């Protein structure tokens, strides 16, 4: 397992106004840390396109996943 996997952050989408094609409600997304975006109340996530984009932070709720789950996510993502 890589260092990235041990520090991975995840959120659940709870809103998707104006982003219906990019975000699915109740879906788990990986966060890409972006301190500058946080200053503007934005969060960078890997969305449905497979790329990372900025979204309003209130569209997500942070979650903690068991380490085994994180490992499986990264195995599938390959």
**What domain range is 25 assigned to?**
3-77
What sign results for the dihedral spanned by CA atoms 62, 22, 24, 29?
Answer: negative
User: Which H helix or E strand runs over 61?
Assistant: strand 60-63
CB 44, CB 56: distance < 8 Å: no
Q: Calculate Rg over the CA atoms of the chain.
A: 12
CATH of the domain at 62: 2.30.30.40
Number of domains, the chain: 1
End-to-end CA distance of the chain: 12
Per-residue model confidence as pLDDT tens digits over 4-20 = 555 789 999 999 999 99
| pLDDT tens track for 22-69 | 999 999 999 999 999 999 999 999 998 989 999 999 999 999 999 999
């Amino acid at each position: 397992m890589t260092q990235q996997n041990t520090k991975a952050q995840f959120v659940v989408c709870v809103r998707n106004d104006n982003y219906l094609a990019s975000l699915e409600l109740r879906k788990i997304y990986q966060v890409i840390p972006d301190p500058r975006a946080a200053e503007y109340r934005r969060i960078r996530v890997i969305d449905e396109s497979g790329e990372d984009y900025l979204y309003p932070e209130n569209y997500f709720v942070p979650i903690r996943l068991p380490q085994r789950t994180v490992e499986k996510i990264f195995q599938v993502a390959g």
